[in-house]
Copies of this chain bind each other. A is one copy, B any other.
Amino acid sequence: MPMPASVAPGSGAMPIDATFAVESRGFSDARLDRAMHRLVERISRQTGIEIHGGKTVLWIECGAAGPPYPALDEDESYRLEITPSGATIRSATVTGAIRGMETFVQSIDPGANGFEAPSVRIEDHPRFAWRGLMLDVSRHWMPVPVILRNLDAMAAVKLNVFHWHLSDDQGFRVESKRFPKLQQLGSDGHFYTQAQVRSVVEYARDRGIRVIPEFDMPGHTTSWFVGYPGLASAPGPYEIERKWGIFQPAMDPSRDETYKFLDEFIAEMAALFPDPYFHIGGDEVDPAQWSQSKSIQAWAARNGFKDAHAIQGYFNRTIEKILARHGKTMIGWDEVFDTTLGHDTIMQSWRGQASLADAARAGFRGLLSFGYYLDHLQPASVHYAVDPLSGAAAGLNDEQKARILGGEACMWSEYVDAETVDSRIWPRLAAIAERFWSPASLTDIDSMYARMEPVSRLLDWVGLEHRSNYQPMLERLAGEKSAGPLRVLADASEALGIDARRDARPYSSLVPLNRFVDAARPESATVRRLELDARNLASDPAAPAELNAAFTLWAANDARLHPTGEIAELSKNLSIVGSIGLQTLEYLRTGQPAPENWIAQQTEALREIEKPSAEVTLAAVRPVRLLVEALARARTNGRNK
């Protein structure tokens, strides 16, 4: 995952043991050498074999280095051939070889005689050139190790753009030497030094990943104003924002000093970030400060700017020119879009394919983020069904379609911190990565989930903590008691996203994210397996035992957990769901028809139980509902006989 463009299985398999080696022939450079070294380390971790080399070789035949820094148009294609006696990756560039290595490592499986890579011929290339993840490090601080392990994981699923949301109302996260009060007063001490930024860019480059900085402006800029209140459209003083939402402070678009500041700031950042693209945000500008300022209103009237939209248009055009002077092309969110901008500008759309299609028709390039908002904690299947070229974009001609470069998943960090962020991004991002890389025809949900599960485990070995932090977080909640029953409850629950949490309690950046909802996963793999069992009750001989074991555990769990506080109701409900499940299984097993009103009562009970509680939903309801529905069908069929 992502599924290659073309796969032709062979017979036999290449053994992966202590004699395995990775070697290059023809071209080689330091970046390729490092990638090969990482590959051997990864395979050692993943298999538990200390690899010495000396026999079975994966050959890397790479044509050339490719661009010195990963480029939007670079060739990422590769061919991978695995046979029982060895394997070969052929690619035009080092980045292509890196993509092929990820496919190789995913192909390794435990066979009857130890680990092996089954014989195969793969030809592969990406569908979209821009396949990204946006990470907000302002609302909650994400230290460097969080960034690095997510870059490793991105590379594992062939993503190639890391969009770094570096400033917002709640924190300014990069060291500026020209304007040091930005980070000194605007970050609570949580910012990346320029040396750290350079090391992150270098780390990403090694993995074929571009780094795009975003400095959101002219709104979402409160943290800038703590150190430089003169940039704002109202006098101040300002404090770092602790709450979430859209706030009034915005840069003063009428003063030359604002643009002089931004010119010098952008000059500094343009030198720090080598990518030719630069994101200025531009979303959600509250016009209050502009309309309340007499001088700004007078300036707008002088220049014929009728409204805030026109004012922001002027701001954007000015920034666009500044960026161009420093060799950068502008990216902005939907709101930035305006046909007076240069055609190089890229629009990133959170609104949907329609605005993307409009922009493409007007000659602009675009990226889709609508449908890929990870902080909503929707199932992977929802994201998987969204295609940058579907909906309104499906009607575009080929030239216009070519302007849609790809997409980016977005992880806004109001309700995640360094501890939980991995579990909110992964493994769901792997499904989005497949949408960006693989053929559009790939749409089967069951196949996606069946492949996402092993990829999720593989990402453990890559260094992510999306799975490993689960048990410790539950144990933290359990205190000195065994965390077993709490885990049963969490396995049966799914955390709700930003929409549900926003109104659940008065959150701010000072509220710890260490509660049940933070430990619970967005999507329960346990429940998904039980849903499969419920659907395959008749055909899969293990299914009844699986369901019976789960329902028994659930039914007994409330007595084992003895919960207090916010999860008391949830726990009681799980045991009710378990009991309904056991009774339903019993009806199905014996073939005895259930009373009609019993079915109606259980259906109603499940509907009630499924309502949000403690900011999670009880996913356990779903397989039980499938069984009750089967029972209702059996009853109807029985009556018709």
Q: State the Cβ distance, A306 to closest chain B Cβ, in Å.
A: 45
The answer to whether the Cβ of A548 comes within 8 Å of any Cβ in the partner chain is yes
Known: A529-B482, A552-B552, A560-B542. A46 touches B471 (CB 8 A): no
The answer to whether the Cβ of A237 comes within 8 Å of any Cβ in the partner chain is no
Known: A510-B18, A518-B48. A457 touches B477 (CB 8 A): no
**In whole angstroms, what is the CA distance A490 to B542 when docked?**
20
Known: A553-B549, A560-B549. A48 touches B512 (CB 8 A): yes
**Which residue in B47, B110, B512, B556 is a CB contact (below 8 Å) of A50?**
B512
**Which residue in B460, B545, B559 is a CB contact (below 8 Å) of A472?**
B460
**Which residue in B47, B453, B477, B548 is a CB contact (below 8 Å) of A552?**
B548
**Which residue in B483, B510, B514 is a CB contact (below 8 Å) of A47?**
B514
**In whole angstroms, what is the CA distance A353 to B594 when docked?**
71
The answer to whether the Cβ of A417 comes within 8 Å of any Cβ in the partner chain is yes
B518 touches A545 (CB 8 A): no
Q: State the Cβ distance, A447 to closest chain B Cβ, in Å.
A: 13
Counting contact residues on chain A (CB < 8 A from B), the size range is 35 or more
The answer to whether the Cβ of A259 comes within 8 Å of any Cβ in the partner chain is no
Known: A461-B472, A479-B110, A549-B552. A48 touches B514 (CB 8 A): yes
Q: State the Cβ distance, A516 to closest chain B Cβ, in Å.
A: 12
The answer to whether the Cβ of A321 comes within 8 Å of any Cβ in the partner chain is no
**Which residue in B109, B468, B526 is a CB contact (below 8 Å) of A480?**
B109
A46 touches B559 (CB 8 A): no
A541 touches B559 (CB 8 A): yes
**In whole angstroms, what is the CA distance A557 to B22 when docked?**
40
Q: State the Cβ distance, A425 to closest chain B Cβ, in Å.
A: 18
Interface residues of A in 97-125 (CB under 8 A from B): 109-110, 112
Proximity string of chain A (478-499) to chain B, C-beta cutoff 8 Å, 1 when within and 0 when not: 0110111000000000000000
Q: State the Cβ distance, A634 to closest chain B Cβ, in Å.
A: 24
B556 touches A549 (CB 8 A): yes
Known: A461-B472, A479-B109, A518-B48. A560 touches B546 (CB 8 A): yes
A47 touches B476 (CB 8 A): yes
The answer to whether the Cβ of A473 comes within 8 Å of any Cβ in the partner chain is yes
Q: State the Cβ distance, A120 to closest chain B Cβ, in Å.
A: 15
The answer to whether the Cβ of A49 comes within 8 Å of any Cβ in the partner chain is yes
The answer to whether the Cβ of A419 comes within 8 Å of any Cβ in the partner chain is yes
Chain B residues with Cβ under 8 A from A74's Cβ? none
**In whole angstroms, what is the CA distance A518 to B47 when docked?**
13
The answer to whether the Cβ of A467 comes within 8 Å of any Cβ in the partner chain is yes
Chain B residues with Cβ under 8 A from A472's Cβ? 457, 460-461, 468
**In whole angstroms, what is the CA distance A556 to B545 when docked?**
6
Interface residues of A in 514-553 (CB under 8 A from B): 514, 518, 526, 529, 541-542, 545-546, 548-549, 552-553
B109 touches A49 (CB 8 A): no
**Which residue in B47, B468, B545, B546 is a CB contact (below 8 Å) of A512?**
B47
Known: A49-B514, A512-B48, A548-B556. A454 touches B476 (CB 8 A): no
The answer to whether the Cβ of A144 comes within 8 Å of any Cβ in the partner chain is no
> What are 12 A-B pairs at a CB distance below 8 A?
A18-B510, A18-B512, A48-B419, A112-B564, A468-B471, A482-B529, A484-B526, A541-B559, A542-B562, A545-B556, A546-B560, A549-B552
- Given contact pairs A110-B479, A457-B475, A482-B529, enumerate 7 new A-B contacts (beta carbons under 8 Å): A18-B510, A49-B512, A50-B512, A454-B480, A457-B483, A460-B472, A548-B552
Task: Give the 10 A-B CB pairs with smallest separation, nearest first.
Answer: A48-B514, A545-B556, A49-B512, A110-B479, A457-B475, A454-B480, A552-B552, A460-B472, A549-B556, A545-B559
